């Protein structure tokens, strides 16, 4: 076996026996080389651009892996994702994947869903929605009691963060999306406690924004759309025209205040200011992912406002 075939074999072993043309190309392969190996029976074609190493037994996991390889920027989602995570009462079922690509193409290997944002991780090397994301997939589509048992067990095993489920309930309520009622029922019976103290929130927000890749920040700034008024925002990144708010309210208070929050967002948008709001869970349990998201948003704002590809770094006063 030459070096190329050995490299593909190693890749296949890590991916339940399957691999894609893009991965083959990264290893130095060409379409002609692929066709030769398909013709000789060394590889089996599963779909256009996805292959299995000949002789490797098919499995549910290999079907899931192949489905994610075929659909770009996708992850296993919905009931198959619940099964892959081992959630209670969710057995293996045929593949479903979610993509965040602009267009949702049909796939011969899976049912394909399109969602604007999708939180994903890896299980057994397969890209799959996080447990909280999968709970959101299933809310409103499976009996509530079944989903409730799965969530109870995942919380008891500390495999999912209650704060993330609270955030999801708020997000789905804001969008009036499918499953909002079930998500609110899930967290209502489990959530308790007081709002996060403002001083604690401010400390975590400062840590988030105290990164050299974030431009100068004005903390406790006047409302950018009402500079002479009494209102304040937690942080304002002027070069991005972006308000960053830390939200420590309990989930039910955030749901109750959705209309007020939306009015503030719309007031900013009227003068070209966008708002991003991070929860306590975002700032603590998911701090690294939150910073990555903030930088991504900043890069988009930078391109929109200044026509540059890279955010301008720097430290603001008092940081």
Say how far residue 140 (Cα) sits from the centre of its chain: 20
Answer yes or no: do 158 and 129 share one domain: yes
| pLDDT attached to residue 189 | 80
Same domain flag for 82 and 171 = yes
Q: Are residues 161 and 230 in the same domain?
A: no
The pLDDT of residue 316 is 42
Query: CA torsion sign, 86 to 89 to 95 to 100?
Result: negative
Which DSSP helix (H) or strand (E) runs through 284? Answer: none
260 in the same domain as 281: yes
215 and 276 inside one domain: yes
DSSP states along 59-114 = -HHHHHHHHHHHSTTEEE-HHHHHHHTT-TT----S-EEEE-SSS----SSSEEEE
Residue 178 domain flag? yes
310 DSSP 8-state letter: S
Residue 302 inside a domain? The answer is yes
For residue 314, being part of any structural domain is answered with: no
My answer on whether 88 and 183 are in the same domain is yes
Same-domain pairing of 203 and 184: no
HSE toward the beta carbon, residue 48, CA cutoff 13 A? 5
pTM of this structure: 0.74
One domain for residues 181 and 224: no
Tell me if 275 is assigned to some domain.
Answer: yes
- Residue 64, domain member (yes or no): no
Residue 208, token pair as written in the block: 């988030």
CATH number (domain holding residue 225)? 3.40.960.10
317 falls within a domain: no
Q: Are 75 and 184 part of one and the same domain?
A: yes
Q: What's the confidence (pLDDT) of residue 192?
A: 67
Provide the domain limits for residue 24.
3-58
Phi-psi region of 199 (alpha: psi -120 to 50; beta: other; left: phi over 0): alpha
Domains of the chain: total: 3
Burial of 27 (0-12, 13-18, 19+ CB in 10 A): middle
Q: Cβ atoms within 10 A of the Cβ of 30, count?
A: 11
Does one domain contain both 182 and 77?
Answer: yes
Please give the pLDDT value at position 223.
93
Is residue 318 in a domain? no
Identify the segments of the chain with pLDDT beneath 50: 310-319
Which pLDDT does position 47 carry in this prediction? 96
What is the pLDDT at residue 281?
Answer: 85
Q: Identify the residue whose tokens are 């950018």.
A: 224
Do 206 and 176 lie in one domain? The reply is no
DSSP for 236-285, please give it. EEGGGTEEEEEE-S-HHHHHHTHHHHHHHHHHHHTTT-EEEEEEHHHHTT
Together in a domain, 115 and 80: yes
Given this model, what pLDDT does residue 232 score?
A: 93
Whether residue 128 is contained in a domain is answered as: yes
Question: How far is 13 from 9, CA to CA, in rounded Å?
Answer: 6
């Amino acid at each position: 076996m030459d070096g190329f075939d050995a490299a593909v074999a190693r890749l296949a072993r890590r991916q339940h026996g399957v691999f894609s043309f893009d991965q083959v190309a990264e290893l130095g392969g060409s379409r002609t080389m692929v066709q030769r190996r398909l013709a000789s029976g060394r590889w089996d074609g599963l779909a256009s651009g996805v292959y299995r190493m000949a002789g490797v037994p098919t499995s549910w996991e290999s079907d899931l892996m192949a489905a994610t390889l075929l659909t770009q920027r996708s992850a296993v989602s919905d009931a198959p994702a619940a099964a892959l995570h081992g959630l209670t009462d969710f057995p293996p079922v045929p593949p479903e994947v979610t993509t965040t690509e602009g267009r949702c193409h049909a796939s011969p290997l899976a049912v394909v869903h399109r969602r604007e944002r999708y939180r994903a991780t890896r299980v057994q090397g397969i890209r799959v929605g996080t447990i909280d994301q999968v709970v959101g997939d299933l809310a409103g589509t499976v009996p509530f009691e079944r989903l409730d048992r799965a969530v109870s067990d995942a919380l008891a095993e500390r495999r999912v963060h209650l704060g993330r489920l609270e955030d999801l309930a708020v997000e789905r309520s804001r969008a009036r999306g499918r499953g909002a009622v079930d998500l609110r029922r899930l967290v209502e019976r489990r959530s308790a406690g007081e709002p996060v103290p403002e001083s604690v929130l401010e400390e975590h927000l400062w840590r988030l924004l105290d990164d050299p890749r974030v431009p100068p920040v004005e903390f406790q700034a006047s409302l950018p759309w009402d500079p002479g008024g009494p209102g304040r925002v937690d942080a304002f990144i002027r070069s991005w025209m972006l308000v960053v708010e830390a939200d420590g309210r309990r989930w039910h208070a955030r749901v109750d205040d959705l209309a007020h929050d939306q009015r503030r967002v719309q007031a900013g948008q009227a003068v070209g200011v966008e708002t991003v709001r991070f929860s306590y869970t975002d700032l603590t349990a998911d701090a690294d992912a939150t910073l990555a998201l903030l930088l991504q948003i900043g890069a988009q704002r930078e391109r929109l406002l200044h026509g540059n590809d890279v955010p301008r770094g720097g430290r603001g006063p008092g940081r």
